[in-house]
Structure 1
Amino acid sequence: MTPDDDDALLDSDSDSDSAAFDDGDSPERLPRGLTLRALVPNAITSGALCCGLTGIRFAIAGDFRSAVLAVIVAGMLDGIDGRVARAMKAQSRFGAELDSLADAISFGVAPALILYLWSLQEVPRFGWFAALALAVCCALRLARFNARIDTEDQPHKSAGFLTGVPAPVGAGLAMMPLYLWIASDRPEFRHPAGVAVWTAVIAFLMISNIATLSWASLRPRRSVRLELILVFGLVFAAMLTEPWLTLVGICVFYIALIPLGVARYARVRRQRADARAATAAHV
């Protein structure tokens, strides 16, 4: 599940108890366990965690292409575990906590170490602090989300927006210089100073209070929905033929949407303020 996409809360304890018989006639209750239904979304979350850790292993071996792909697979699994949990009615606090721990490693620690081993280690002091910033900011973002789960007053969420850049998206954005380097093999994309600055900027965006667009806030007009289906199909085909340049394009597109999200949320705030003023005037 993804806390930044509001997919938190997985799993549930079993609703039924088992019974064992002592001497053939005395029933004895056994401790409750997780049902198979509840294990499925947790298994997906565990798979995402293992993918993130495997990405670190590939980076240590110098296979940065596989390292990036491992983090991307972790993001894909993270995007479906929450939906699976809701579809199977297997949501619980346990799942939310497991998801946050997995996200902190897969989208905080793993990308930070991959970038450090790829480029930032050439300037170990400055580069290590940039990697730390990415990992720590990811953990802080997830902790902030967990702290607000039961809070009713969440202006961004109530308007269909997210607060800051989601953890999986932040991990993908942070590795954009790596995509460019793999696609072009140009050494300037591996320059440690530039990578460090870029990593620090993405880390800041993850813990910022700016409103970013969520799936709930994207409501395309009916007149363009067929065109959007075509675009998604073409993007999928591009991922198969030119994956690294396609990832760069997706990152650039998302970054271009950030000012749009800020502007749309500012309009929502003005509308809410006007509504409150009108209500107060009628009282």
Structure 2
Amino acid sequence: MTQPQNNTDTNNLSLPVDEHEEEVQEGDKRIRRKGVYLLPNLFTTGALFAGFYAIIASTQGSFEQAAIAIVVAGILDGLDGRIARLTNTQSEFGVQYDSMSDLVSFGIAPSILMFNWALTGLGKLGWAIAFAYVACAALRLARFNAQVHTADKRYFTGLASPAAAGFVATMVWTGYEVGVGPAIGLLCGMVTLAVALLMVSNVRYQSMKGIDFKGRVPFVFIIVTVLLFTIITIDPPRVLLLIGILYAASGPLQAIFRAAHSRLKPKS
């Protein structure tokens, strides 16, 4: 005897191909809404496009343009979630779409960029490192999604994939301007693998999500921000690479400091 189909499944099957229904929290109630929020998903789509462009550019030897595209993707990715929170347009669809975009822009794109720029001369080792980077980015994103509702918002567990991609992209960008690449392929491979492992590590990083963009800040904060942007414009690849190195190193250094502090702390 044929079992009757679930009503929810039937309703979903009857929807047009471009429709989407999702349960959202409004006050104390969960209600179903059709459609998706436009503004945050436009930024996510922009980040996805930038990542896709980076893949195409790197396969055609336009390494500088590819690196810049990944940096742009990182900026757009940083904006979509904050805009969603500021405008109260968060949704489960947005979370999943952002994750898919991140895998392309911050997993596949930097891996292909680094491989085409410096790792091709390493043969099988080169593509193994490139694949390891993609796999670690995918695992990092999956872990983030699984812990998104329970994790401490002040910290990331492991280096975030946009930060890792920015590190790789600015390393290529700087190296391209200097004129190195295949000559330091092994070094680049080792650094890429180290960054990949940081993504799946348990090292904690500051998430910067505690910044209240709607609140008041000291006037000096604005001055420091202006100075930072000014310094970046002087030499974007090198300054951004330096920022990436400092941020990537901050997690392990803080972990070492905490471990040393706990050992020196007198036992009660």
TM-score by length of 1: 0.73
CA distance in 1, matches of 2:175, 2:67: 12
How far apart are the structure 1 equivalents of 2:55 and 2:251?
A: 29
1:105 aligns with 2:104: yes
The answer to whether the 8 Å contact 1:141/1:167 transfers is: yes
The equivalent of 2:248 in structure 1 is 255
Question: 1:43-54 to 2 correspondence within 5 Å?
Answer: 43-54=42-53
Is the 8 Å Cα contact of residues 211 and 265 (structure 1) preserved in structure 2?
Answer: no
Count of matched residue positions in the alignment of Structure 1 and Structure 2: 235
The one-character-per-residue Cα deviations of 1:45-88 (angstroms, maximum 9, x if unpaired) are 11110110001111112111110111111111100111111222
SS of residue paired to 1:191: helix
> What corresponds to 2:165 in structure 1?
171
- Does the CA-based 8 Å contact 1:12-1:90 persist in structure 2? no
Summarize the alignment of residues 1-283 of structure 1 with structure 2, pairs less than 5 Å apart. Answer: 33-34=34-35, 38-150=37-149, 152=150, 154=151, 157=152, 160-186=154-180, 190-216=183-209, 227-262=220-255
Q: Any idea what SS the aligned residue of 1:136 has?
A: helix
Of 254-263 and 162-171, more deviation after overlay is shown by 254-263
RMSD: 3.1
Distance change in 2, residues 1:253/1:218 (3 Å): farther
Find the counterpart in structure 1 of residue 6 from structure 2.
Answer: none
Q: Deviations over 1:204-223 (max 9, x none)?
A: 0000001112215789xxxx
Runs of 4+ in 1 over 6 A off after TM superposition: 267-270
Corresponding letter in the other structure for 2:197: F
> How far apart, CA to CA, are the structure 2 residues paired with 1:12 and 1:198?
43
Residue 203 of structure 1: SS of its match in structure 2? helix
Distance across 2 between alignment mates of 1:218 and 1:194 = 36
Q: CA deviation at 1:250?
A: 1.0
Counterparts in 2 of 1:92 and 1:269: CA distance versus 1, 3 Å:
farther
Separation (CA, whole Å) in 1 of partners of 2:92 and 2:211: 28
Give the secondary-structure state (helix, strand or coil) at the position aligned to 1:175. helix
Q: Name the aligned partner's letter for residue 163 of structure 1.
A: T
Q: Gaps spanning 5+ residues in structure 2: where?
A: 1-19, 25-31
Partner Cα separation in structure 1 for residue 71 and residue 173 of structure 2? 12
Report how far residue 266 of structure 1 moved.
5.7
Does the Cα contact within 8 Å between 1:116 and 1:131 map onto a contact in 2?
yes
Paired AA for residue 257 in structure 1: S
The alpha carbon displacement at 1:269 in A equals 8.8
Report the equivalent of 1:18: none
Return the offset for 1:253.
2.2
Superposition deviation, residue 137 in structure 1: 0.4
Change (3 A) 1:164 1:264: same
Give the percent of matched residue pairs that are identical in Structure 1 and Structure 2.
34
Shift of 1:234: 2.3
2: distance between equivalents of 1:250 and 1:192? Answer: 22
